[in-house]
Amino acid sequence: MKKLSNAIPPTPTLTPQDHTMASGREQCKTPKTLKMSLNKKKLSNFAYFCVTFLFFTCFNLYFSNLISYKLLNGLEFTSPLFNLVLTKNTGAAFSIMQNSTAFLIALSLIGFLAILYFVIKDLKTLRMKEILFISFLMAGILGNLYERAFLGYVRDFFELAFVNFPIFNISDIFINIGVIGIATLILLSRKSNKSNIK
């Protein structure tokens, strides 16, 4: 009668050389996997940026044209919160730097391209929240840039009824949402880093 132990094949033992070869194969795969993951994130961020930026830009231009058209054709709107009053602004946001159209066009174009370069350069590391607020900011800059370049002025129509404040438009709102949002994220990030250090 054969012994049972003889029927069971012995378990192979790995030599140090085998471990080294296996570890080497894992290390070879890691950079490739990491690169694929980063490329996937970059593509995802780029798609999200395009969608949000185009949406905010189209929203801005469409409703700016619609409100301006309605006001030119006799629309009157007043409320305890705000009124609609169409004005031509040859200055910057909130009616500052009047009659500086050429300078503001150049400044807006430089700012827009600089932000776009930053987005493309750091697309892999940007978070969705950051991309959202950057899209707000860029859509606002582009909206005012478009009107200055093609109309020679910016159309403002929101007048706050409860306080004495310059008349503004949708682009101004988007720019402020973008700036405030980005500043808030930076402050929260610094606060989080300080907490981790402690």
Which string of b and e fits 180-196 if b means at least 16 CB within 10 Å?
A: ebbeeeeeeeeeeeeee
By CB neighbour count within 10 A (0-12 exposed, 13-18 middle, 19+ buried), where does 93 fall? Answer: buried
Q: pTM value?
A: 0.78
Average pLDDT over residues 91-114: 85
pLDDT (tens digit per residue) in 134-191 = 999 999 999 999 999 999 999 999 999 999 998 999 999 999 999 999 999 999 988 7
| Residue 156 known to be catalytic | yes
Tell me 122's DSSP state: T
Active-site annotation holder among 130, 156, 158, 175: 156
Which one from 119, 168, 172, 178 is the annotated catalytic residue? 172
Local confidence band at 1 (pLDDT 50, 70, 90 cut-offs): very low
Model confidence at 8, in pLDDT bands (50, 70, 90)?
Answer: low
Would residue 18 show up in a list of annotated catalytic residues for this protein?
A: no
In a 13 Å sphere around the CA of 48, the CA atoms on its Cβ side amount to: 18
Of 81, 96, 194, residue with least CA distance to 144:
96
Tokens of 60: 């801005």
d(CA 40, CA 24): 25
